[in-house]
Every structure is written in C-alpha cells, then in structure tokens.
Amino acid sequence: MCETLLACSILIDADIMSGEEYCMHLDELYEKDPDNDFFLRLKRCSSDVQESISLIREHYKNKDIDYNVFGVFLIRTLETVVLSTEKWPIQPIE
C-alpha cells in the first residue's frame, strides 16, 4: 500500500496534490498498520513534505512496485482533479 504514497509524491511534485492531502493518506495507512516502521518514520517528518517524499523515493529505490495499486491510485486521483473545476481549469469533453 505504500505505492499510494509514491503516487502522492509524484502528484505533489506536479502541484496537483497538497501536503495536507498526502498527510491524510499517510494517516489512513498508519492507522491500518501502526507497527510499520516506515509509516512511523514518515509520520515523524510529516510536517516536512519534501523530506517525506525523499524517504518514500529512497524506500522504493530497490523495491518492487505493485503497479496495479500505484496506477489505480494515480489515475483515480488525476481523474478526480480533471473533473474538478476547482483544481483544474480544463473542462471535460462531452
């Protein structure tokens, strides 16, 4: 499930997701697995989103990524943003 955090890091860099939204996703994952050392490290530096992003990317440097989880989260988030006039100025084609 860390793949969602990796997708968040890309969305934050693209200025599509806020740090607050990232923290919300991190909180959800941490609540499901509070004994996870990686989530705990991320929680400790959650006030510094760029540091969190660095930790996430370092974590995945030599690990396999579940592209189904990563891709579904990324595409669903982008779909939501594109359909939202609040965050995206382009209207969907009808």
What's the predicted TM-score (pTM) here? 0.79
Residue 90 has pLDDT above 80, yes or no: no
Q: Is the pLDDT of residue 87 over 70?
A: no
Question: What digits encode the pLDDT tens for the residues 28-70?
Answer: 999 999 999 999 999 999 889 899 999 999 988 888 899 999 9
Written as one letter, the residue type at 23 is: C
**Of 86 and 70, more confident:** 70
Band of the pLDDT at 92, cuts 50, 70, 90? Answer: low
The CA-CA-CA angle for residues 22, 28, 34, to 5°, reads: 115
